Structure 1
Amino acid sequence: MPLDYSPLPQALQPLLVRFYRAHNSRNRVRPEATCWVARRGAIVGGLCLTPVADGHFLTGLLVTPAERNCGVGAQLVREVLASCDGPVWLFCKPELLDFYTRLGFVKTDRLPDTLADRLSRYRRSKALIALLNDRRMMPMPAATLTIAVACLFDERGRILVVRKRGTRFFMLPGGKAEVGETPLQTLQRELHEELDLRLDETNLEALGHFRAPAANEPGHQVEADVFMGRLPHPVKVQAELEEMSWLELAPCTREDVAPLLRRHIMPALLMRTVEG
Structure 2
Amino acid sequence: MKTVLKVSAVCIYDPSGRMLTVRKSGTTKFMHPGGKPESGESAAEAASRELAEEVGITLAPENLELMGVWTGTAANESDTDIQATVFIAPGTWDSAAIHPTAEIAELRWMDISTAHNFDDLAPLLTEYVIPALTA
The TM-score, its normalising length taken from structure 2, stands at 0.90
Q: Give the Cα–Cα distance (whole angstroms) in 1 for the partners of residues 82 and 115 of structure 2.
A: 19
Q: Output one character per residue of 1:38-74: Cα deviation in whole Å (capped at 9) or x when no partner.
A: xxxxxxxxxxxxxxxxxxxxxxxxxxxxxxxxxxxxx
Cα shift at 1:179? 1.3
- 1:191 aligns to what? 51
Give, in angstroms, the shift of residue 232 of structure 1. 4.0
1:207-235 deviation line (CA, Å, top 9, x unaligned): 00011110100000010000011344420
Distance 1:231 1:197 in 2: 11
For 2:37, which of 160, 177, 184 is the aligned residue? 177
Where does the alignment leave 5 or more consecutive residues of structure 2 unmatched?
Answer: none
Following superposition of structure 1 onto structure 2, how do residues 1-276 of structure 1 map, counting pairs within 5 Å? Answer: 141-229=1-89, 230-233=91-94, 234-250=97-113, 252-253=115-116, 254-271=118-135
Distance in structure 2 (CA, Å) of the matches to 1:231 and 1:145: 29
Identity of aligned residues (%): 37
Residue identity in the other structure for 2:41: E
Partners in 2 of 1:210 and 1:159 — Cα distance? 19
CA contact (8 A) 1:251 1:267 kept: no
Q: Which moved more, 1:228-237 or 1:155-164?
A: 228-237
In the TM superposition, what whole-angstrom CA distance separates every residue of 1:128-152 from its partner, at most 9, and x where no partner exists?
xxxxxxxxxxxxx410110000110
Counterpart code for 2:52: H
- Give the 3-state SS of the residue equivalent to 1:266 in structure 2: helix
Structure-2 separation of matches of 1:215 and 1:182: 22
Q: Which ranges in structure 1 are unaligned for 5 or more consecutive residues?
A: 1-140, 272-276
1:15 equivalent in structure 2: none
When residues 177 and 148 of structure 1 are mapped into structure 2, their CA distance, relative to the original with a 3 A threshold, is same
Note if contact 1:251-1:266 (Cα within 8 Å) is conserved in structure 2.
no
In the comparison of the two structures, how many residue pairs are matched? 131
Q: Which amino acid aligns with 2:36?
A: K
Q: Distance in 2 between matches of 1:145 and 1:187?
A: 14
Q: RMSD across aligned C-alpha pairs, in angstroms?
A: 1.4
Higher relative contact order (Cα pairs below 8 Å, separated by 6+ residues): 2
1:61-96: CA deviations, max 9, x gaps?
A: xxxxxxxxxxxxxxxxxxxxxxxxxxxxxxxxxxxx
Report the secondary structure of 2:134's partner residue. Answer: helix
1:200 Cα deviation after fit:
2.1
Q: CA deviation at 1:236?
A: 2.5
Q: Secondary structure at the residue paired with 1:153? A: coil
Distance 1:243 1:208 in 2: 25
Supply the AA of the counterpart residue of 2:129: I
Q: Please tell me whether the aligned partners of residues 150 and 228 of structure 1 are also in contact (alpha carbons under 8 angstroms).
A: yes
Please say which structure displays the higher CA radius of gyration: 1
Residues 156-188 of structure 1 show CA distances to partners (whole Å, capped at 9, x for unaligned) of 100000001111000000101111110011011
